[in-house]
C-alpha cells in the first residue's frame, strides 16, 4: 500500500509510524524542503502531488496546526484522503463505523472514543486522549495528548485543545458545553463553561 504524508516534522513522523504499523510500506513525505529523507523515506515537493495521485497514493495531512490542514485541503481537495487509526485506539458501540464515514482523521495510540459521538473530518487525536458520550467534534480540530473531554461537549471547527487540558461536562444533549470555532485552549487548562470562537483561554479555570 502507498501513502503520501503532508508535512515532515515530528508529528508527520508519528503519522508515518501509524501508517507503517497498518501495512503501508511505500511512504513518502511532502514538504517544501526536499533535499533530505527521513529514516530512508523520501521527501518530495508539492509539485509531485498530482503525480502521486495518478499513481493511486492515499493521502493524509501530518500537521497539528488546524489552519495549515485547512489550507492544504483547500489546495488539494480532490485527493484520496483516508483515516489513519492506530491499532491500540478503542471505540464504543458503532463509533468506528461513524469514523469510517469521515476522511483525513489521524487517531493516535491510546485514543478512546465511547458512544454516540459525532465526528468531523481532518481531525487530529493525539496520544491517550479521551472522547466520551454525546460529544460533537467538528472538522479540522486538534485534540492534543492526554486531553480529557467530558460528555455533552462540542468542539467547533478549527479548535485546538492543548496537552492535558480537561473540558468539563455539558448540561445535556441539547445544552452542550461549546468550545468555539478556531479557539485555542492552553495546555493543562480546565474548561468549565462554553468558550467563544476565535479566542485563547488558559488556566484553571480557563479564562
**Distance separating alpha carbons of residues 151 and 131, to the nearest angstrom:** 8
Asked if the bond preceding 205 is cis, omega within 30° of 0, the reply is: yes
- pLDDT value of residue 116: 97
**Distance separating alpha carbons of residues 89 and 127, to the nearest angstrom:** 9
Q: In the chain, what are the domains? A: 2-75 (3.40.50.20), 84-201 (2.160.10.10)
C-alpha torsion sign, points 44, 49, 50, 55: positive
- pLDDT value of residue 41: 94
> Which residues are catalytically annotated?
133
126 contacts 112 by C-beta, under 8 angstroms: no
Work out the end-to-end distance of the chain between its first and last CA atoms, rounded to an integer number of angstroms.
46
**Among the listed residues 130, 109, 80, 89, the one whose alpha carbon sits nearest the alpha carbon of residue 15:** 109
92 is in an annotated binding site: no
Q: Measure CA 27 to chain center.
A: 19
**Distance separating alpha carbons of residues 202 and 207, to the nearest angstrom:** 6
* pLDDT beneath 50: ranges in the chain: none
How much is the pTM?
Answer: 0.95
Query: How far lies 150's CA from each of 57, 84, 131, 134, in Å?
Result: 37, 24, 7, 9
Query: How far lies 74's CA from each of 80, 89, 143, 176, 178, in Å?
Result: 14, 29, 21, 30, 26
List pLDDT tens digits, range 67-78.
Answer: 999 999 999 999
- pLDDT value of residue 33: 74
Amino acid at each position: 500500500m502507498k501513502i503520501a504524508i503532508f508535512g515532515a516534522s515530528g508529528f508527520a513522523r508519528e503519522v508515518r509510524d501509524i501508517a507503517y504499523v497498518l501495512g503501508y510500506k511505500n511512504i513518502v513525505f511532502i514538504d517544501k524542503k526536499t533535499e533530505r529523507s527521513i529514516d530512508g523515506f523520501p521527501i518530495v515537493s508539492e509539485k509531485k502531488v498530482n503525480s502521486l495521485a495518478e499513481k493511486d497514493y492515499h493521502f493524509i495531512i501530518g500537521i497539528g496546526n488546524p489552519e495549515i490542514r485547512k489550507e492544504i485541503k483547500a489546495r488539494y481537495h480532490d485527493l484520496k484522503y483516508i483515516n489513519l487509526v492506530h491499532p491500540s485506539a478503542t471505540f464504543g458501540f458503532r463509533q468506528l463505523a461513524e469514523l469510517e464515514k469521515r476522511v483525513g482523521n489521524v487517531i493516535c495510540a491510546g485514543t478512546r472514543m465511547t458512544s454516540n459521538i459525532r465526528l468531523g473530518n481532518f481531525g487530529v487525536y493525539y496520544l491517550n486522549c479521551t472522547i466520551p458520550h454525546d460529544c460533537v467534534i467538528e472538522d479540522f480540530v486538534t485534540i492534543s495528548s492526554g486531553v480529557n473531554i467530558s460528555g455533552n461537549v462540542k468542539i467547533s471547527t478549527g479548535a485546538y485543545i492543548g496537552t492535558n487540558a480537561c473540558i468539563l461536562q455539558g448540561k445535556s444533549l441539547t445544552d452542550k458545553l461549546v468550545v468555539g470555532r478556531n479557539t485555542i485552549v492552553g495546555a493543562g487548562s480546565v474548561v468549565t463553561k462554553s468558550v467563544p470562537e476565535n479566542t485563547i483561554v488558559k488556566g484553571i479555570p480557563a479564562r
